[in-house]
């Protein structure tokens, strides 16, 4: 029997007591039991989220350091490119000064 089925049986019993016009301590205790069970079922329905602990998220710890290295390489390449552009510019000026038509 599932908890939901148990709750239903308790509720059916309570309904029978109500139909019979019985309103005594036993009925109240039964009603309290049903309400407690409902609260427990509600709480339990969120317990599946406990499995979240077993969900592993991809390890990205290495990425930070590697991205920093790539960023350094980008800066180096920019500096290298700027230097090459400067050298080419100078070479062109030199060639033009030497009378070479470019």
Partner 1 sequence: MSIRQILITVCFLIPCVGCGTPTAVRNLSAVQSRTMESYQQSLKTYFNVVMKFADGQVAAANAIINSNVREMTDLQKEDALDNLGKAKTPEDRSAALNNYTKAILQFRSTAEGQLQSISENVNKLRAKQEEMISAYGELVRAQKALDEYIQMKKADEVILDDLAQLVGINQEKLTQSVTDIAQISQTIQTDIKSLQNQK
Q: Which residues bind partner 1 (CB under 8 A)?
A: 25, 28-29, 31-32, 35-36, 38-40, 42-43, 45-47, 49-50, 52-53, 55, 57-58, 60, 63-64, 66-67, 70-71, 73-74, 77-78, 80-81, 83-85, 88, 92, 100, 102
Instruction: Report, in Å, the least distance between residue 8 CB and partner 1.
Output: 17
Enclosing H/E stretch for 4:
helix 3-19
Q: Least separation, in Å, of the C-beta of 9 and partner 1? A: 18
Question: In 1-102, where do the E strands start and end?
Answer: none
Tell me how far, at minimum, the Cβ of 101 lies from partner 1, in Å: 9
Element (H, E) at 68: helix 61-97
Residue 46: both structure tokens together: 């969120």
Residue with Cβ nearer partner 1 (9 or 76) = 76
Within 8 A by CB and 6+ apart from 33, the residues are: 10
Q: What is the CA radius of gyration of the chain?
A: 40
CB of 84 to partner 1, least distance (A): 4
- For residue 41, what are its two tokens? 């079922």
Cβ nearer to partner 1, comparing 1 with 42: 42
């Amino acid at each position: 029997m599932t908890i939901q089925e148990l709750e239903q049986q308790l509720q059916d019993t309570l309904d029978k007591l109500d139909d019979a016009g019985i309103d005594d301590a036993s009925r109240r205790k039964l009603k309290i039991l049903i309400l407690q069970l409902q609260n427990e079922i509600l709480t339990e329905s969120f317990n599946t989220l406990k499995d979240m602990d077993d969900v592993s998220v991809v390890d990205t710890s290495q990425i930070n350091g590697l991205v920093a290295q790539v960023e350094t390489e980008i800066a180096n390449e920019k500096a290298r490119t700027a230097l090459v552009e400067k050298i080419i510019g100078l070479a062109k000026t030199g060639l033009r000064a030497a009378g070479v038509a470019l």
